[in-house]
Amino acid sequence: MSRLAWHPRYHRDALDGMELMCLEDRGAYTTLLDMMYDRGGPVPDEDRMLAGKMLVSTRTWRTIRARLIDAGKVEVIDTPNGPFLFNERARNELETQEKRSRKNAESGAKGGRKKAVYPPKVNGNNDNDEATALAKSKLETVQNSSVDKSTGADSAVVDHDKAAWADAVGVLSGQGGMTEPAARKFFGQLLARNKIEARDLLAALTTIRVNGTLDPQGLLTRHAQAIARRRTDEKPKRVGWV
């Protein structure tokens, strides 16, 4: 399992699960969970190290540890490297995120071989419908003008758009926690609203994936708006003659 820069937190589950725990145990339990997600796996069951992380004495930590184990919040697992502490929910979430990351990577790799991905039809006000239709029309125009009629091969321009769509859905559903349909709808509306192409956001998508950005929606929105403003400023201004 790999490290996670973020993880879904289900507030009602957390509140219900910690309802009978004292504040001291809640703090230690939450810290242990964050350590597990940060490591991408169980935490070494080392009293001195964990007491230092909790800023308590070793004796106090042992008391807290015993209560957490008795409450079923953590379990001790034996490994060739010694005992470790783990949590069943954390284990399941790490495995789920790892499967999702593999799926997103596979989808991204296949992006260049799939048919062009168009923005989905948007149900909403007329402005959104018209903007989405404009983005779809522009992408279809690029595809049609970029096909080599003699070989039927798509050019690199169309491939860049496909790769950007696949990458966007990957980061929005992975790091952004959105469902894939919601991710496609968000990205399609973003392109249409700012009148840009998917490939215009390739650099931003790379930054999000490399840095593990926790708010890909916000960063993509800011980049799209910046590109739209820059292109507006670059348009030649008409000169009025008297």
pLDDT of residue 171: 84
Its domain, for residue 163, covers 114-234
191 and 120 part of one domain: yes
204-to-163, 171, 189, 241 alpha-carbon distances in Å: 13, 11, 17, 42
- 108-156 residue pLDDT tens: 666 545 554 445 544 544 445 555 555 555 555 545 554 444 444 444 4
- 159-173 residue pLDDT tens: 688 888 888 888 888
26 and 67 part of one domain: yes
Asked if residue 71 is part of any domain, the answer here is yes
Q: Does 50 have pLDDT greater than 90?
A: yes
- 182-204 residue pLDDT tens: 889 999 999 999 999 988 898 88
Give mean pLDDT, residues 44-50.
94
Q: How many domains does the chain have?
A: 2
213 and 146 part of one domain: yes
Give mean pLDDT, residues 94-98.
79
118 and 230 part of one domain: yes
Q: Does 62 have pLDDT greater than 80?
A: yes
83 and 136 part of one domain: no
